[in-house]
Amino acid sequence: MEINTDFEKMSFHDASINDVSRSDSKITIVLSGIFISKEHPGSNGKDLIVQNGVMTLYNASNEKSLTWLNDVASVSHKTPEYPIDEIMNAKFDGSTFHFDGFKETMPWHEWFIQATSFNLVAFDVVETTS
């Protein structure tokens, strides 16, 4: 199964990032636990969970990783090449992907990636009733 549209009809809440790699203008993220709503055109009308998938972000031109130790100011991330391992929120506005969540159980991290499109290849998908 491949998905490259309707990012907003997927939920990355509690999804795990297992690996991140970069080449040229692509960022490849190995993920598990992505929810795909039955409203998504690629779901065949079923709520799905991607247990194993790879999402590639295309035309990546800039990244920024932030760590929040309080609610006043952010600091530079200690491992910007792999800034989050558990996603709580994910958004895409057409030019920037924004992920936030945890790294090694420590809150709160943000990862901004300027990119133009995505492709999610789902290898292990199960239907869910919740």
pTM to 2 decimal places:
0.91
Within 10 angstroms of residue 37's Cβ, the number of other Cβ atoms is 14
Average pLDDT estimate for 64-88: 83
The yes-or-no verdict on residue 130 having pLDDT over 70 is no
The pLDDT value given to residue 129: 75
The pLDDT value given to residue 105: 77
- Looking at per-residue pLDDT, the higher value among 59 and 108 belongs to 59
Cα 32 from Cα 9, distance rounded (Å): 16
Q: Are strands 62-68 and 74-76 parallel, antiparallel or unpaired?
A: antiparallel
Cα 129 from Cα 124, distance rounded (Å): 17
What letter would DSSP give residue 102?
A: E
